[in-house]
Structure 1
Amino acid sequence: MEEELCYSTVCFKPFDNQKSTVPQLEESVIYAEVKIKQSTTQTPPETSAAECSLNKSVLPAHDSLSEAKDATTPIFSAYRPATVILGLLCFFLLAALTAVSVFNYIHKSKYNNILARHTQEKATNLQLLADMEVLERERARLKTQGEQMNGTLNFILKKSSFLVDKYCQSTGNGVQCTPCLQNWIQNGSSCYYFNKDWPWKTWTESQEYCKGYGAQLAIIDSVEEQEFINQHTESYYDKYHGYWIGLSEKKEETWVWTTGAELEGGFWVYAPLKGYMECVLSMPSKNPLQSWISTSCNMRNRWICEVDVLTWPTFLQAQQNQSGPST
């Protein structure tokens, strides 16, 4: 079958816009040529005519398409202000985020600086507390040292004479002092001197000797002290000689210590004779609780002196010599 040509007629009306300067034209007729491909099968004439009619109604003219495009142009123009506003909002949002970031950075830097100062001040405070503890210990040490010096001064002022060289010695580290005189032995709060030298002395002479050192004949008021004295005495000459202690009979049947205190109890070998105004010796004995005898105060014997321990300030203290007195 040969190709058929279908023609369609399209009528265009003039624009209604009266302001248009384009002169109105009369209706024009445009012919659009539509080619129909040849079918492999023979198409009835009725089908070709219908298809041709369909093509005539569907195909638009060129000017009709242009008019459709012009109709959509105002729609896009309506979104242009919204696009501009949205862009401005994005700009301001970005500026706000930038400002917040800068603000956060500045304040974070300030916070870090404050934290660093706080840490430094805390460390300084801890150091000050440590220094204060050191100063408190030093203050306590100085207070104790002051009390010791006052005690030493009071001890010295009570003596009629005070032999410093008997307590203190010069060493390579300066002057060091002992709580007891040289060749004296410390026991508790007292220092004792056990005489072993010749000549021996009477009870009165022995007491005067002790006074020369700010001491007195030993006063025994406890079992422990009696045992200590018995450990440092020894037998000499004969069984009638011993060591004078500070006990004597001042009144009939009254035994009195050199301090004026009356005797309570005692460590007698046998009951003392009364009324003879005698003095007391401590004899070396296997039983320290039975070692006192009374005898004439004019008999010559060895003696035992006793004096309070002298408390020196710490910087003057030295280790006490615990060896026995020299002979």
Structure 2
Amino acid sequence: MRLKTRIITMLMLLMCLSLFLSGQEKEETASLCGSRLMLVCLGILCVLLVGSIAVIVYMSMKTTVQQTEINDLIKENERVTEENKMMQNKNKELSRERDDLNKTLGFIQKFDDFPVKDYCSDEGCKPCRTDWILFQGKCYLFYDKPDPWKSWTGSRTFCQDKHADLVVIDDLEEQEFVSKNLKFYYDEYHGYWMGLQEVNNTWTWINGRADTLGFWMKEALGTSGPVALLIPERNLTENWDKADEVFKNKFICEHEAVIWPV
């Protein structure tokens, strides 16, 4: 900005000097020494003007080069940032795969002899065994064998022998899924055992979590007891019944689905 101002000033001086010299030439009494002095000044101003223009051109070129370098650095920074995001996403994906593999390994290690044929065939491996149903990362077995059925304790032992346990219902979605897979059998008093029991006057799931859903029937069907049944063909949010654990019923087993490497 200062260089431009200086050039403008010198141009104005040159114009004024030119006008002055023109006037001087017309004067018959002009001094030769004065004319020479003016010519010297004009030469100096021309040199300064040319130098200033050269400086401006140089600075402009330098600024252009610097701006190009800055733009290149910005693009490089954007590229590195994008690569970093991709690496972070890849790292998260690998971490999930590692966790899934560790979970699968932990499940397999529960077996003395893992039943590969129950999970895998020539077409590949499944997350659940035959006759088990997959839902939201878990496998469910709705025990549907004919009488004799099992007590609450006997049902839980059966599930644990399968490296599972009686079902724990976490939310309304799971309650809906389970209820839709119940089948009426024998009479209205029979249902499916689930992993809910009364402990110190608090209804508690077998994983230690206190129940907060409370999908109880408004009236108990039979003898009330310390464990819970799911009754088929009832209102979705009113189909739990309190029963004595010695009664024989069908039941629902549950375990985490097996995640096989792709």
Fold equivalence (TM over 0.5): yes
Q: Which has the larger radius of gyration?
A: 1
The answer to whether the Cα contact below 8 Å between 2:141 and 2:254 also exists between their aligned partners in 1 is: no
2:44 corresponds, among 96, 100, 111, to: 96
Which residue of the partner structure matches residue 142 of structure 2?
Answer: 195
TM-score (norm 1): 0.49
Which residue of the partner structure matches residue 283 of structure 1?
Answer: 231
Structure 2 gap ranges (5+): 1-27
CA-based RMSD: 4.8
How many residue pairs get aligned? The number is: 224
Cα pair distance change 1:212/1:131, threshold 3 Å = farther
SS of aligned partner of 1:125: helix
Deviation at 1:221, TM superposition (A): 6.0
2:56 corresponds, among 102, 105, 108, to: 108
Deviation at 1:245, TM superposition (A): 1.4
SS of aligned partner of 1:193: strand
Which residue of the partner structure matches residue 16 of structure 1?
Answer: none
Deviation at 1:206, TM superposition (A): 4.5
Deviations 1:249-295 (A, max 9, x none): 899x99764336677866255176468xx864312132231442536
The answer to whether the Cα contact below 8 Å between 2:139 and 2:257 also exists between their aligned partners in 1 is: no
Deviation at 1:120, TM superposition (A): 0.8
Which residue of the partner structure matches residue 128 of structure 1?
Answer: 76
Q: Which has the higher contact order (CA 8 A, sep 6+)?
A: 2
Structure 1 gap ranges (5+): 1-78, 317-327
Aligned equivalents of 1:250, 1:121: Cα separation in 2: 72
SS of aligned partner of 1:234: coil
Aligned equivalents of 2:170, 2:67: Cα separation in 1: 64
1:207 aligns with 2:156: yes
Aligned equivalents of 1:255, 1:272: Cα separation in 2: 18
Alignment of 1:73-222 (within 5 A): 82-83=31-32, 85-145=33-93, 147-149=95-97, 151-153=99-101, 155-156=103-104, 158-159=106-107, 160-161=110-111, 181=128, 184-187=133-136, 191-195=138-142, 198=145, 202=150, 203=152, 206-208=155-157, 210-211=159-160, 214-220=163-169
The answer to whether the Cα contact below 8 Å between 1:285 and 1:291 also exists between their aligned partners in 2 is: no
The answer to whether the Cα contact below 8 Å between 2:167 and 2:252 also exists between their aligned partners in 1 is: yes
Matched letter for residue 195 of structure 1: F
Deviation at 1:107, TM superposition (A): 0.8
1:270 aligns with 2:212: no
Alignment of 1:237-256 (within 5 A): 237-247=186-196
1:305 corresponds, among 253, 257, 260, to: 253
Aligned equivalents of 1:206, 1:234: Cα separation in 2: 17
Cα pair distance change 1:102/1:128, threshold 3 Å = same
TM-score (norm 2): 0.59
SS of aligned partner of 2:183: coil
1:292 corresponds, among 232, 241, 255, to: 241
Cα pair distance change 1:256/1:158, threshold 3 Å = farther
Deviations 1:177-196 (A, max 9, x none): 99x64753435xx6351426
